Amino acid sequence: ILPEKFFVLETPVLVGKAAVDVALRTDEERKMSESERRKFPPPFSIWACPESHRVFVLHLKPGHEFRRDRIPEDVNVTPLEQWSSLSLPSWKRTRAEAGSS
């Protein structure tokens, strides 16, 4: 079993979590309506960072590859372990909020 992977996505402009979700979907899934798309849970979770609305944490579920070509060139992608400015307390808080919603 492959380990679960976490990436930090930094977008150049403010975007909503839904826009990030759609960008990471397959071409077939992108053509679907939002209600159709909900029937296909993606192989990832996205958390928005409370400190910045341009930073998202992407959690890729085990066994799935991260497709860099799905993300616009101007979005920075950093593996979480290499990301230093994301403080752990806020990351835990973000996860707690995501889990309780």
**Tens digits of residue pLDDT in 12-51:** 888 777 778 877 888 888 888 888 988 888 888 888 877 7
| Interacting residues of 38 by C-beta distance below 8 A, sequence separation 6+ | none
In angstroms, the CA 40 to CA 55 distance is 25
CB 7 within 8 Å of CB 75:
no
> pLDDT exceeding 90 applies to what percent of the chain?
0
Q: Give SS3 for 17.
A: helix
Q: Does domain 5-100 have CATH number 3.30.70?
A: yes
CB 29 within 8 Å of CB 47:
no
In angstroms, the CA 76 to CA 28 distance is 25
